[in-house]
Amino acid sequence: MFSEATPFVMTHLACLMQQPSRLPLVMQPCSSLNLTGLEKIELKLPTDGFFLLFKVSAPPFPTPNHCYYDETLIGAGAYLAHTRKLTLDFTSMNPWYNLGLGPWSEEDDGGMRPGDRATCTSGLVIDWILTYAWHYNYLQHIHSVELRGDIQDWVKEKWHRVFAGTHPDQDNVASRQCIHQIEHHGEPESVAMGERWIPTQHYPPACRCELNCSRLRRGIVEPEMPSTTWEDDTQDDLRPLDTLPWHNQMDTDG
Domain positions in the chain: 5-225
User: Is the Cα torsion angle 78, 79, 82, 88 positive or negative in sign?
Assistant: negative
Mean pLDDT over each residue of the chain, to the nearest integer? 81
47-64 pLDDT, tens digit per residue, is: 989 999 999 999 999 887
Q: How far apart are CA 207 and CA 195, in angstroms?
A: 22
pLDDT of residue 7: 61
- How far is Cα 16 from Cα 11, in angstroms, rounded to an integer? 9
Backbone angles phi and psi of 71, in degrees to 5 = -60, -30
Specify the pairing of strand 216-217 against strand 220-221: antiparallel
Contact present, 148 and 87 (Cβ < 8 Å): yes
What angle separates helix 176-183 from helix 124-135, to the nearest 10 degrees?
140
Which of 163, 171, 172 has its CA nearest to residue 143?
163
Residue 129 has pLDDT above 70, yes or no: yes
Predicted confidence (pLDDT) at residue 240 exceeds the cutoff of 60 = no
Query: Does 20 score more than 70 pLDDT?
Result: no
Determine contact, residues 88/127, Cβ cutoff 8 Å.
Answer: no
Helices 124-135 and 153-164: crossing angle, nearest 10°? 20
Percent of the chain with pLDDT over 70: 72
User: What band does 252 get if pLDDT is binned at 50, 70 and 90?
Assistant: very low
Q: What pLDDT does 10 receive?
A: 56
Question: Exposure of 190 by Cβ count < 10 A (0-12 exposed, 13-18 middle, 19+ buried)?
Answer: middle
- The pLDDT of residue 43 is 92
The pLDDT assigned to 244 comes to 47
